[in-house]
């Protein structure tokens, strides 16, 4: 193809893709033309346009499939790590609430701390801190065990011909 022909196709493609407004004054239904600043580009019924046209259904289907795949992976990750994140949040907030309500950083807090430890809200916060810390430790053990078993997988396949 000539350079002039490629420029015309490129201008037509840009106009079709929406970069420039398309002006059509065609009186013949079988012939489309697009006016540019310098040239008028004539297109056959689909001859040259089909070279640049993609199957949009295929592209949208691929994008939709990728989206569904990522969505399923995120559901699995959230399902596994959601409980872990819940225990981390509970531990964090309960520890800060315990310090604020049960053992304030004042002289009065120091003097009242033996009495405050027996109150129900302080016992509850202490229970959450203790059990959340244990759950976080147990989850680290589970994650470490999974990583070790994945990385140190022992090959259990026995060769067919042992006697040779």
**Residue 137, domain member (yes or no):** yes
DSSP-derived secondary structure for 30-68: T-EEEE-SS-EEEE-SSTTHHHH---HHHHHHHHHHHHH
State the Cα–Cα distance between residues 52 and 100, nearest whole angstrom. 67
Q: What is the mean pLDDT of residues 136-153?
A: 88
**Residue 163, domain member (yes or no):** no
Length of the chain: 164
Helix segments in the chain, DSSP class H: 3-16, 49-52, 56-101, 107-116, 120-151
**Residue 24, domain member (yes or no):** yes
Q: What is the pLDDT of residues 75-126, one digit of tens each?
A: 887 787 888 889 999 999 999 999 999 998 899 988 988 899 899 999 999 9
Domain residues for the domain of 48 are 3-52
pLDDT category at 132 given cuts 50, 70, 90 is very high
Query: 45 and 91 share a domain?
Result: no
**Residue 146, domain member (yes or no):** yes
Query: 39 and 89 share a domain?
Result: no
Q: What is the pLDDT of residues 48-72, one digit of tens each?
A: 556 555 556 777 788 888 988 888 8
**Residue 79, domain member (yes or no):** no
pLDDT category at 6 given cuts 50, 70, 90 is low
Query: 34 and 90 share a domain?
Result: no
State the Cα–Cα distance between residues 149 and 152, nearest whole angstrom. 5
Structural domains in the chain (count): 2
Query: 90 and 131 share a domain?
Result: yes
**Residue 67, domain member (yes or no):** no
**Residue 61, domain member (yes or no):** no
**Residue 7, domain member (yes or no):** yes
Q: What is the mean pLDDT of residues 14-38?
A: 50
Nearest to 49 by CA among 7, 2, 10: 10
């Amino acid at each position: 193809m000539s350079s002039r022909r490629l420029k015309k196709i490129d201008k037509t493609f840009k106009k079709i893709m929406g970069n420039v407004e398309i002006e059509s004054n065609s009186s013949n239904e079988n012939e489309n033309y697009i006016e540019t600043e310098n040239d008028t580009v004539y297109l056959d019924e689909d001859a040259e346009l089909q070279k640049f046209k993609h199957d949009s259904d295929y592209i949208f289907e691929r994008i939709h499939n990728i989206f569904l795949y990522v969505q399923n992976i995120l559901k699995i990750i959230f399902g596994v790590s959601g409980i872990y994140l819940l225990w981390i949040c509970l531990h964090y907030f309960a520890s800060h609430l315990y310090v604020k309500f049960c053992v304030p950083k004042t002289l009065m807090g120091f003097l009242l701390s033996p009495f405050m430890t027996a109150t129900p809200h302080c016992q509850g916060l202490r229970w959450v801190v203790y059990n959340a810390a244990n759950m976080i430790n147990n989850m680290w053990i589970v994650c470490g065990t999974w990583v070790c078993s994945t990385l140190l997988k022992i090959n259990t396949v026995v060769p067919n011909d042992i006697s040779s």
